[in-house]
Structure 1
Amino acid sequence: MADLSHLVGGDLFVGPGGRLSLVAGSEATQQRVLRRLLTSRGSYIWQPAYGAGLPGLVGQVASQQQVSAIIKTQMTLEPSVLSSPEPVVRVTVGTLGDISAVISYSEAETGLTETVSLSTGV
């Protein structure tokens, strides 16, 4: 099933003819993963437990292991990501508390390994 195409922090995409763009498959999964990881817990009123809140960790004392555990836990909650094999998460926490992550996971629809990167800068 197709979703409206939307990257976190941006507007909906408008396609040819002025219609809202749709996204499906692995691209939709990437958008869902980024939305889940970058949404603050409690900010989505229909699902208060939704979101990892990674931007809220910027400037906090957080280890690579803590951030990696948060990401892995959230990835298991995303229906479009397979739980086996387990997602592989590589996290870097900068000296100012900025967080970068590269996440490899298997997409549920295709079974193919996909990679998504994110960075929460200071």
Structure 2
Amino acid sequence: MKDLNHYVGDDLSLSPTGSLSIVEGVERGKQRILRRLITNPGDYLFHTEYGAGLGRYVGALTNIPEIIALIRGQILLEDCVAKKPAPVISVSTDNETLSVTISYTDAPLGEPVTLSFEVNR
């Protein structure tokens, strides 16, 4: 499958010909996972349960196992994440940043993938 090439928070990407760029494969999966984890539940009018809203955990008292469970539940809803082997998720936090690393297997390609990102205030 193909999607528009777009990382949450950035502009849409253009192809060398000036049209909208598309993304597929592992990169598509990374973009979809990141978008799902950053989006606040209720932000998508017709998909009110979509999203993990990780930003709300930045600077708050956090329960790391709860955040890991939330991330796991959300990423397993994406078709690019294989259920076996189970994704490995690590989370660390301080007052200003939530750091996340996810290691998973890309389901369509069977390739191991690591996605690391930070959510700031």
Q: Same fold (TM over 0.5)?
A: yes
Once the two structures are superposed, residues 14-47 of structure 1 have per-residue CA deviations (whole angstroms, 9 ceiling, x without a partner) of 1112110000011100000000000000001121
Superposition RMSD on alpha carbons, in Å? 1.1
Partner of 1:56: 56
Give 3-state SS (helix, strand or coil) of 2:113's partner.
Answer: strand
Partner of 1:111: 110
The runs of 5 or more residues in structure 2 that have no matched partner are: none
Give 3-state SS (helix, strand or coil) of 2:76's partner.
Answer: helix
Give 3-state SS (helix, strand or coil) of 1:18's partner.
Answer: coil
Query: Counterparts of 1:68-79 in structure 2 under 5 Å?
Result: 68-79=68-79
The runs of 5 or more residues in structure 1 that have no matched partner are: none
Aligned counterparts of 1:50 and 1:38: Cα–Cα separation in 2: 10
Q: 1:42–1:49: 8 Å Cα contact kept in structure 2?
A: yes
For the pair 1:2 / 2:2, whether they are aligned, the reply is: yes
What is the CA-CA distance between 1:98 and the residue it aligns to? 2.3
TM-score by length of structure 2 reads: 0.95
Q: 1:102–1:115: 8 Å Cα contact kept in structure 2?
A: yes
Partner of 1:120: 119
Query: Counterparts of 1:26-65 in structure 2 under 5 Å?
Result: 26-65=26-65
What percent identity do the matched residue pairs reach?
40
Q: 1:60–1:97: 8 Å Cα contact kept in structure 2?
A: no
Matched residues, number: 121
TM-score by length of structure 1 reads: 0.94
Query: Counterparts of 1:93-108 in structure 2 under 5 Å?
Result: 93-94=93-94, 96=95, 98-108=97-107
Partner of 2:21: 21
Runs of 4+ residues deviating >2 angstroms: none
Partner of 2:90: 90
Aligned counterparts of 1:13 and 1:78: Cα–Cα separation in 2: 22
What is the CA-CA distance between 1:97 and the residue it aligns to? 5.3
Q: Quickly say closer, same or farther: Cα 1:63–1:97, change in 2 above 3 A.
A: farther
Aligned counterparts of 1:117 and 1:42: Cα–Cα separation in 2: 25
